[in-house]
Amino acid sequence: MLSYEGVPAPLAHLIEQLSGLPGIGPKSAMRLGLNLLAKEPTQVQQLASALAELHQSMGFCEVCGCFSEHNHCLICNDHRRDHRVICVVEQPVDVLMLERSKTFSGVYHVLHGRLSPMDGVGESQLTFAALAMRLAQKDVAELILATSATVDGEATAHYISQRFHAVPGVNISRIARGVPEGGELEYVDEYTLARALSQRTRWQGSGTNVL
């Protein structure tokens, strides 16, 4: 715990706020606070404006649930993407991470969580009903389940597969799990290795097999 003795109240207040951010401890918050104090007032004002506007101007896409500053996000509005393939993820940040891979040209559906009886998260708290509506209204060929590789993530994927497996024309797939890029086998746990072996893909020259 950092002592605020001798620290002027406005700076102490800023440090307290900054240290509530993920990955920033009290000492880092102090350094950031002092750094901001040393900057030109106009620069700090720009940062303050960006923070103040964040919640005013950002919301969620009405279709997929991802971050968006409009009713529909850029991905849902992009007609070059394959709207017949929906990748189901837990959080909006997962969309950003998958987009960074630059390999997926379909669209997304954000659940805003995962089933977790221990934490009191049931099906009504997630966006399954909206997903069911999308499947009923649109011609969807594939649902890719990209929930996390945890017990709750697996349970959520299982629930979706059970709920939607009978929808006509919709194939349900699960993202593969295995050895990470650049990973050496001796550092990979036996469960992951077993999954990597059982979900092996046909060699395609480059060693990758992008669906």
Q: Does 29 bind Zn ion (CB under 5 A)?
A: no
From 104, 127, 123, 103, select the one nearest 115 (Cα to Cα): 123
Please provide the DSSP assignment of 103-163 as one string. ---EEEEE-SS--BGGGTB-GGGTTHHHHHHHHHHS---EEEE---SSHHHHHHHHHHHHH
> Using CB under 5 A, which residues numbered 31 to 90 contact Zn ion?
61, 63-64, 73, 76
Quick one: 59 or 169, whose CB is closer to Zn ion?
Answer: 59
What's the N-to-C CA distance of the chain in angstroms? Answer: 50
Task: Give least dist CB 105 to Zn ion, A.
Answer: 14
Quick one: 137 or 206, whose CB is closer to Zn ion?
Answer: 137
Task: Give least dist CB 121 to Zn ion, A.
Answer: 22
Q: Does 98 bind Zn ion (CB under 5 A)?
A: no
Task: Give least dist CB 73 to Zn ion, A.
Answer: 3
Binding mask 181-210 for Zn ion (x = CB under 5 A): ------------------------------
Task: Give least dist CB 174 to Zn ion, A.
Answer: 22
| Non-local CB neighbours of 165 within 8 Å, separated by 6+ positions | 172
* Beta bridge partners of residue 82, listed in sequence order: 106
- Chain positions contacting Zn ion, by CB under 5 A: 61, 63-64, 73, 76
